Amino acid sequence: MVLGCVEFSTKESPDTGSHELDNTAVLFLTDPPDTAELSGWYARKIVGVPFLLLNLLHLQKAGVQSVTVYHRGLLGGQKGRMIPLTEDPRLRIPVEWESDPARLAARLNENACRLVVNGSALHWHTDLAGVLKEPSDTDLLARTQVYEVPKDTAPEALATCLNEFSLAETRKIGRVPGPQNLDTVRLVAGDHNRWVQTKDDFHRLHEQLLKLGGMSNDSPMDRLVTRHMSRHLTRLFIRTPLTPNQITWAHLVLGLVSGWYFYLGGYGNQLTGALLLMLSAWLDSTDGEIARLRFQQSPFGGMLDIVADNVVHFAVFLGIGLGLYRMTGNAAYSYLGVVAVAGSLTCFLLLQSDIFSQRTTGSSDAPAEEAESLVDQIANRDFIYFLFAMAVVNLLEIFIVVTAIGSVVFAGYVAYSRFKPQSRTQGQGLQLK
């Protein structure tokens, strides 16, 4: 297959000179295998979400404002069985239905829609967003197989191209647009590795997406251990009706039970507490993975996750300190537990605006790089493996001493980092959160 990778232009606003794009799209459904029914094929699930709905959700997240779903067989009962797939609270953009290729070609010529997406491939929102903007990444254009077809092409030729989503026909009538060329339709065939042509492809893509559940700021231990374990839990839970928030509540309960076992003291209880804390941390990763894969992220879920994480940490630190005091009679351990909680709480209070912003909106206020680095450090879960090792060798005294000192030092560093930039830039009128 020969790819035609082209450079796209945008239109400029006459008032501001800023770039504007009309973000409407056509999701072009192709015929399923001979033995499959159209509605049943596009209702099959990947990561717990119907195939058709998953593509619509990715289009929505990419910035598309409305979608027309096209297939020449969308008549009567087939259309009636497919409409419920789009009646989902996660989908907030309007969806229209079309079954006539000539009418679709005419509609593309009449309005400003410039994007036709192959519905028999699974698309990713970041790829679609790159195509919608002003792409300069030729690798992206090649991988997602993007073509441009002039809108003034003969309606019969355009209809033939659209009718089969034929890349061969597209190549025949396609051309490279010139500067400021706005009279073309972009056809996105999609990454060939994400095409769905057999039933086995649904399972293959399901597994492929599970491996993408991590985050770019994962620590080395997250990548090596935590994500490996949480992925097994995600694979289990994603086929159930459990919501990410319900999994977060389970993470919180397990973490509190872990703190209680540390408070009881004794080698067996301490080891049980460490094991429960690791399971709680794996669940903490699972809720986010499922939320991202199913498009079930919400501000409330982000806040619940933050509160649960911190409550678990406080309960564990305090439980270890009090448990060691109960075992040894040395009050210093209880004080160290309180100091560890106080240091962690101070860090949280100083960074709360950045933490809530990053978890609920995926962004962080200026100065972005420094704030995100501090948030990543306070959210780091790697200490649970050090804690488990200390529980195995029955040396939690070392853990609580290191944690108390470390939390105080880090709280001082956070305070210094928060207030130093503010004093340095006050004269310039900058204000930090």
* Averaged pLDDT for residues 290-303: 90
pLDDT at 16 over 90: no
pLDDT digits (tens, 9 = 90+) for 172-189: 444 444 344 556 777 888
pLDDT tens column, 127-165 = 998 888 766 677 888 888 887 777 666 656 655 665 555
Grouping H, G, I as helix, E, B as strand and the rest as coil, residue 32 is: coil
Q: Which of 27-41, 186-200, 276-290, 353-367 has the lowest mean pLDDT?
A: 353-367
Integer CA distances (angstroms), 6 to 18, 140, 145, 256, 346, in order: 22, 11, 10, 56, 53
For 100-114, the pLDDT digits (tens) are: 877 777 777 766 676
Residue 386, judged by CB atoms within 10 A of its CB (0-12, 13-18, 19+), counts as middle
Structure tokens at 400: 């609580």
Query: H-type helices in 265-330, by residue range?
Result: 267-294, 299-328
Beta strand pairing status for 66-70 and 24-28?
parallel
Q: Which CATH number fits domain 213-428: 3.30.70.20, 1.20.120.1760, 2.60.40.650, 3.40.50.300?
A: 1.20.120.1760
Q: What are phi and psi of 185, to 5 degrees?
A: -110, 130
User: Yes or no: is domain 20-206 CATH 3.10.620?
Assistant: no
Distance CA 234, CA 257 (A): 22
Higher pLDDT, 34 or 396: 396
pLDDT in tens, 317-372: 999 999 999 999 999 999 999 999 999 999 888 877 666 665 555 443 333 444 45
296 closest CA partner among 57, 97, 133 = 57
**For the chain, what is the mean pLDDT?**
79
Query: Tokens standing for 299?
Result: 């501000």
CB 261 within 8 A of CB 275: no
The secondary structure of 220-241 as a DSSP string is HHIIIIIHHHHHHHHHHHTTSS
223-246 average pLDDT score: 89
> Rounded distance, CA 87 to CA 93, Å?
11
The domain spans of the chain are 20-206, 213-428
Q: What's the confidence (pLDDT) of residue 134?
A: 62
d(CA 182, CA 105) in angstroms, rounded, equals 16
